[in-house]
Amino acid sequence: SLDDRRRWYRYHQLFADVLRTRLFDEQPAWVPDLHRRASDWYEHNGDRSEAIRHALAGEDFDRAASLIELAVPALRQGHQEVTALRWLRALPDEVIGRRPVLSVAYAWALLSIGELEDVERRLGDGERWLTAPHGVPDEAGAGRPEMVVVDRREFSLLAALIAVYRAVLAQIRGDVATTVRHAREALNLAPEDDDLLRGAAEALLGLATWASGDLETAHRIYGAGMARVQRSGSLSDALGGAIALADIRITQGRLRDAIRTYEHALQLSAKHGEPVLRATADMYVGLSDLAREQGDLQAATRHLQASKDLGEHMGYPQNRYRLHVVTARIRQAEGDLDGALDAIHEAQRLYMPDFIPDVRPLPAQEARILLRQGRLAEANAWARARGLSPHDDLTYLREFEHVTLARVLLAQSTLDPSDGSARDAFSLLGRLLRAAEDGQRTGNVIEILVLLALAHQVRGDMPAALAALGRALALGEPEGYVRVFLDEGPPMAALLQDAANRGIAPDYVRHLLADFGHAHDRTPIKQPLVEPLSERELDVLRLLATDLAGPEIARELVVSLSTVRSHTKAIYAKLGANNRRSAVTRAEELDLLSRARNRP
The pLDDT, as a whole number, for residue 143 is 43
What is the arithmetic mean of pLDDT over 414-434? 89
| Residue, of 100 and 316, whose pLDDT is higher | 100
Out of 1.20.1250.20, 1.10.150.120, 1.25.40.10, 1.10.1060.10, the CATH code matching 234-356 is 1.25.40.10
Dump the DSSP string for 412-455. Answer: HHHH-TTSSHHHHHHHHHHHHHHHHHHTT-HHHHHHHHHHHHHH
pLDDT surpasses 70 at 136: no
Instruction: Please say whether the beta carbons of 512 and 486 come within 8 A.
Output: yes
Looking at residue 60, its amino acid is D
Average confidence score pLDDT of the chain: 88
Residue 351: predicted pLDDT: 92
- pLDDT tens for residues 226-261? 999 999 988 888 999 999 999 999 999 999 999 999
pLDDT of residue 521: 47
Report the distance separating Cα 82 and Cα 443, nearest Å. Answer: 37
pLDDT tens digits along 111-124: 988 899 999 999 99
- pLDDT at residue 273 above 50? yes
**104-113, 317-326, 365-374, 510-519 — which is least confidently predicted?**
510-519
pLDDT for position 563: 85
Which residues are paired to 2 by β-bridges?
A: 9
| Domain covering 535-597 in this structure, CATH number | 1.10.10.10
C-alpha distances out from residue 200 to 29, 139, 162, 436, 487, Å: 49, 37, 12, 29, 38
Q: Do domains 24-129+151-156 and 234-356 have the same CATH topology?
A: yes
Residue 245 has φ and ψ, to the nearest 5°, of -60, -40
Query: Contact, 457 vs 491, CB < 8 A?
Result: yes
Report the pLDDT value the prediction gives residue 135, as an integer from 0 to 100.
41
- State the pLDDT at residue 137: 36
Tell me, what's the pLDDT at 419?
Answer: 76
DSSP one-letter string for 447-483: HHHHHHHHHHHHHT-HHHHHHHHHHHHHHHGGGT--H
Question: In the prediction, which pLDDT does 580 show?
Answer: 87
Please, are residues 238 and 268 in contact by the beta-carbon 8 Å criterion? yes
Task: List, in order, residues 6 or more apart from 63 with CB less than 8 Å away.
Answer: 36, 39, 55
Query: Structure pTM?
Result: 0.79
What digits encode the pLDDT tens for the residues 488-504?
998 999 999 999 999 99
Please spell the DSSP secondary structure of 137-174, one letter per residue: --TTSPPPPPP--S-HHHHHTHHHHHHHHHHHHHHHTT
pLDDT at 555 over 90: no
Widest pairwise Cα distance in the chain: 93
**Looking at this protein, which amino acid is placed at residue 27?**
Q
Amino acid at 32: P
Distance in angstroms (rounded) separating the CA atoms of residues 125 and 388:
40
* Domain residue ranges of the chain, discontinuous segments joined by +: 24-129+151-156, 234-356, 535-597
Fold of 24-129+151-156: 1.25.40
Distance of alpha carbon 452 from the chain centroid: 30
Give CA–CA dist 300/281, Å, rounded. 14
